[in-house]
Chains A and B, each alone.
Chain A
Amino acid sequence: MKHLSEDDLIELYYSKEEPVRASRHLAGCAQCTRAYAELESDLASVKAIEPPLLDAAYGDRLWQSLAPFLPVYEERKRTLPRFSRWIYAAASVLMIAGAFLAGRVWEHHRPRISTAASPAAIPQPPLLPQLQPQQQPQPQQRERVVVVLLGDHLDRLERLLVELKHADADSAEMVSPLRDEARSLLTANRICRQQVKQQDDPALAEALDRLETLLAELSNSQGGLNAAAITRLQNEMNSNSLLFEVRILRSRIPDQQTAENSRSKGGTI
């Protein structure tokens, strides 16, 4: 049988909850019971040292002796409570994360400016809508815009040439709108001609060049747009087959509106 050590007995003596193993052993072991009784007797003889009774004024006297040596805490020396510090830390983290996310979202939605389509590289025709720098079209978008504008321009030219072909040289009522339209088309024609030169389409560029001459004469004919001038221009237009050429050129340009409509309807070509 293994007896309890002195440490076990001391532990048992001071333990508020009796250790089961030690108690069970003591119940069946006379030697350990005797040793435990001896320990109890020894420790019981060590009486708690009782301090002298202090009068009620002890605390007050103590405070009076301490007070002169204690500095006053300043309000500013107080630190934030622990939970407040955590709240401030969490708020800071949230603010940083929010700023980061906002930056990401803004960057994602901002249209990207291509260096190839920088404002310097794109001459801005007056007929084109004035785009802000951040709205500059991509090369593909730009090409599509030019095609649409050119198609419209050729349509207007065709109408003008048809009107010129059938114009009554003696009718002043017809002459004035014809001249106004020619002036308007003259500016647009210059822009379109410049665009076409960049696209390396000599046939179209040459046709636009000849049309520009005709438009210039229509707009600024010396002595006004009289019957003789109109007759001369009609002959010139017919001899150069300008109307026919415009129709041919117009047919080469895909009808953007038709194509857009067919796409939106899910149709295929």
Chain B
Amino acid sequence: MYCMGKNDHAAISAILAGDKEAYGALVMRHSQSLFRVAFRITGNEADAEDVVQEAFLRGYRKLESFESRSNFGTWIYRIAVRCALDRIASQRVNDSSRVAGADDPVQDEVQVADGAAGPDRLLLSGEIAALQEKAMSCLTPTERIAFVLRHMEDCSTEEIGAALGITPNAARQTVFRAVQKLRGRLAPLRATR
């Protein structure tokens, strides 16, 4: 996923020796990539920033358990994925408590604009993106993350499994389920193509 320079190892050694400021270099080096994956998973900027902040906080606290043979970039990336998973899972709980019928098929039905709008208009208005986001919201947090990592981050099933704490085969099955659900939700869009 990421290349870890010798600088990361040196910075970690310095931090554990009492030089807290050395962590600043790691934050600045890896914050952009963490923000990207956090944004893709959470879907909004504010949540993504919170996820990145939480990931670096957790990473600092667990730095003693970091094994020197590991890659810090990969390690902190996995922490960020877990933070994002926690966030969207808690959001889902809050949403389901606020909005009755979150699993209501009518509510979850992808609302395709009427045919009068036409595909060109859909593209122009960004409604396809909204449709995609709507379809994505139908996935479970784990399915959403597995799909994002596979489809957008180009991660292998092994990497997805490691990030989610599941086996590679389970990660593969999770990706299959996510794709099947998305295709089902995006079927109306297929008719407009």
Contact = CB atoms under 8 A, between A and B. Distances in A.
Chain B, interface SS category: helix
Q: For this complex, into which size category does the number of interface residues on chain A fall?
A: 35 or more
Contacts of A48: 40, 151-152
A67 B39 contact: no
Nearest to B190: A42
Contact of B18 (A62, A65, A75): A75
A63 B20 CA distance: 11
Given A46-B132, A51-B40, A73-B18, A58 B35 contact: yes
Contacts of A52: 39, 45
Name which of A52, A70, A77, A78 has the most chain B CB atoms within 10 A of its CB.
A70
Interface string B147-188: 010111000000000000000000010011001101100100
Interface string B134-153: 01000000000000101110
A62 B56 contact: yes
Nearest to A14: B150
A64 to B, nearest CB: 9
Contact of B31 (A43, A46, A62): A62
Contacts, number: 109
Contacts of A62: 27-28, 31, 49, 52-53, 56
A129 interface: no
B32 A54 contact: yes
Contacts of A60: 24, 28
CB-CB nearest 10 A-B residue pairs: A59-B28, A51-B39, A48-B152, A63-B24, A59-B31, A63-B27, A49-B40, A72-B20, A7-B176, A51-B36
Given A6-B176, A38-B190, A58-B32, 16 more contacts: A14-B151, A42-B190, A45-B128, A45-B193, A46-B135, A48-B40, A51-B40, A58-B35, A59-B27, A59-B29, A60-B24, A60-B28, A63-B23, A66-B53, A72-B18, A73-B16
